[in-house]
Structure 1
Amino acid sequence: MKLNWGHYIAIALGCFMIFILTLLFSANDSGHAMVTEDYYEKELTFQNEIDAEKRANALAEKPVINSQANGMVLTFPVEIVPNEGSLFLMRNNNELDDIRMPLKLDGKNKMLIPANKLKDGEYELFLKWKNENKEYLVKKTVQWISQ
């Protein structure tokens, strides 16, 4: 059988269609997890977050997080006594490993995040608190390595 130019065009179009369909199906299979589900609602309050972060950066002494054998210890300076707050440790690779906790300090202005809740790796720390009707926000990258 002899091929003429019409056959070559049909073969080229068929190969092109197979290529496009392959791209379509392979792009559809990739996971697309969002960092946050309520993205648009958070966008509306983004300026408040910027202001809270500026207030936290302006503090003379900031909260400190240290690793110990029993977990991570969050320590607030004595002059900061938060009325309320929250701690969020976000894992970028798996949202099931995220940790959300209300801010509950002991008598020494410390809070323990137990080691059994933590997985080895990198976390994004989001620490929010209110003090004298002003909101504060600290964002930081922390590492946890089991000891």
Structure 2
Amino acid sequence: MKINWGTGIVIGMIAFMGFIMFMVITMMTDKEYDHDMVTENYYAKDLVYQNEIDAEKKANSLTSKIKIEKSSEGLHIYFPEELQEKNVSGSIQMYRPSNEKLDFQIPLQIENSTMLIEDSKLVGGSWKVTIDWEMDGEQYLFKKAIVY
């Protein structure tokens, strides 16, 4: 049987569309290719974004900046001295962009202007650290992307 050029083009188009459909279905159903949203409540979080900007400005206006250092024990977070003498409450959120299951949040417990996040809680790779605290009735926010 001889196939003319018109039939060949139709067969090629059908094969290409079949391949694309196979790839789309594979990407949508296979857990290996799971693409989570950055946050579940994206639009609700967007509405309070100005509050985050104001809190970051307040954190940047402190006498010294928060420093994060990697060590064999884990992640050391060094806070400004002015937080030591005040009543500070807040949390540290560790966000892993590549895997939602590794995200965690811990309460802020500052001892001698430092805090340690143990090595056992962290996996090597990219992390986004968000430190959110309240001091003297005002909100403060510090964000930093790190590689552990």
- TM-score w.r.t. the length of structure 2 is 0.80
Map of 2:135 onto structure 1: 131
- In structure 2, the residue matched to 1:71 is 74
Does the 8 A contact of 1:91 with 1:97 survive in 2? yes
Q: Percent identity?
A: 35
Distance change in 2, residues 1:116/1:11 (3 Å): same
Which residue type is aligned with residue 53 of structure 1? E
Task: Please give the residue correspondences for 1:20-31 in structure 2 after superposition, counting only pairs within 5 Å.
Answer: 20-30=17-27, 31=33
Which residue pairs with 1:83 in the alignment? 88
Confirm or deny: 8 A CA contact 2:59 2:141 kept in the other structure: yes
CA drift of 1:127 comes to 1.0
Number of residue pairs aligned between Structure 1 and Structure 2: 140
Where structure 1 has 5 or more consecutive residues not aligned to the other structure, the ranges are none
Q: Which of the residues 22, 47, 50 maps onto 1:47? A: 50
Q: Which amino acid aligns with 2:11?
A: G
**AA aligned opposite 2:147:** Q
Q: 4, 8, 12: which one pairs with 2:9?
A: 12
2:103 counterpart residue number: 98
TM-score by length of 1: 0.81
Q: State the alpha-carbon separation in 2 of the partners of residues 82 and 64 from structure 1.
A: 20
Give the 3 Å change call, closer, same or farther, for CA 24–55 of structure 1 in structure 2. farther
* Contact kept? 2:62, 2:80, Cα under 8 Å: no
1:42-93 per-residue CA deviation (whole Å, 9 max, x = no partner) reads 1121121122112222222122222222111222222123532111122222
Superposition misfits of 4+ residues, deviation over 3 angstroms: none
| C-alpha separation in 2, matches of 1:143 and 1:101 | 19
Summarize the Cα distance change of 1:50–1:21 in structure 2 as closer, same or farther, 3 Å threshold: farther
